[in-house]
Structure 1
Amino acid sequence: MNSSFPRIIALLRKECGYSQKQVAQDLGISQALLSHYEKGIRECGLDFLTRIADYYGVSCDYLLGRTPDRNGAFLTVEDIPEPDAAGRETIRGSILPTLNKKLIANSLNIVFDKLQRCNNKGLTGEISAFLMLSVYRVLRLLYGANAKNPEGTFAVPSMLARGTATAHMQMAETNAECLSKGMAVGEMEPLLSQDDLAMTPDQLAQDYPLFASSLFNLIQNAEIRMGYNNKK
């Protein structure tokens, strides 16, 4: 078994509002044994794995941490919906969240188009990791604000999440910088030509007529936040 299994079965039980005694009785084992499974002290057999998967209505792959989808699906590019696939956003109250979402999403369209043109797996992976970790940190911040949210949703303990994510963000940024400037990192091949990363305001406006204004606004807002709000 692996480290994900104890955390996930404990989380599922708590989400359902079941006691260890109730689940143990339903599954035909002792409460002490179930407690050991949930704490990772003992490993279960395949028979128990399938029984508890059926009990909670999830897949064995989900219980083993092989996929975040409870039905066991493994995402492909085609499976991932477009950000606005649900239709036009409904603005509730302030327009600010929708405005900032569009500025960020449109700017990322440019970033990932540039990565597509570069066609460098390592560079794409490191920049993607940096961005994913950034979103992860924001999610942990919001999630942790409500004490009723179950801690077991995440594998990383809350006290370690921010520092660990930040460290890996810095490493991903450093790797991406090295790769983008032609320096190999481990087994990752460097970017051999920086031609596809040539960017001037005029070029960006010409190449991305729908998204460039969002990018320029994002740059301006970020630099104002950093205290550079005086245009010369």
Structure 2
Amino acid sequence: MNKNGRSLREFKSLPFPDISLINMCRNTLIMDELRYDRESLKNEHLSLYSGLNIEQKVVYTAILEAVYSDYGRFFFVYGSGGTGKTYLWRTVIARLRSEGKIVLAVASSGIAALLLPGGRTAHSRFKLRESSCCDINQGTQLAELICKSSLIIWDEAPMAHRNAFEALDGSLRDILRFHAPNSTNKSFGGKTVALGGDFRQILPVVPQGGREDIVATSISDSTLWHQCKVYKLTINMRLRDPTMDSNAIQ
């Protein structure tokens, strides 16, 4: 019809394709995130959810409420090794992906990223350049993926420089301002973001820097921290059940 200068819009009785769906199908990043086996994830979620303790369930409920309300919240899950941060992330990820939602799971280090289902390093996923800016342009596949995502999980966050989070915050506000009202006035453009880690472990590396210099580069010293809801995990699941997979309860 296009070759003959005609269009489906001329025929009111014929359905017209949704251009946004066609564009989404062309986006390989979005298709990769929607390719998970939902039935398998439903069963995995039921199994994981039954193992959550009281503290984990509080965080689990808060994150899901923020995602479903689409209001956008900023969380930090603080807990030492063995308190089940990774187990919590896996449960949330399984729940949302089983419902066809997109979850971007990243970590500050490659080893931590391997423990997250479909995990990537934060620098790789968000194209961070020396922790000062994100090389994400409007209209790109990555920008469309971020717009379609329901939740961003960033594990081992204390290892990253605060500039990385501020760069991501600025990029998300810029990308989402054409898709969501008041996104420029919300942290991370109104996306729900959940960070996790332990400030008693590895902090950002500051060459020849002292204690004050290191603390000043941490996310806790950023202006974003005042908008963050902090949850603490104190129950050590590894000590309660030594037979559990240590990778599953980080």
- TM-score tier after normalising by the smaller chain length: under 0.3
Hey, which of these two has a bigger chunk of strand by percent?
A: 2
Query: What's the TM-score, normalizing by structure 2?
Result: 0.25
Structure with max Cα Rg: 1
More helix by share: 1
Greater RCO (Cα-Cα under 8 Å, separation 6 or more):
2
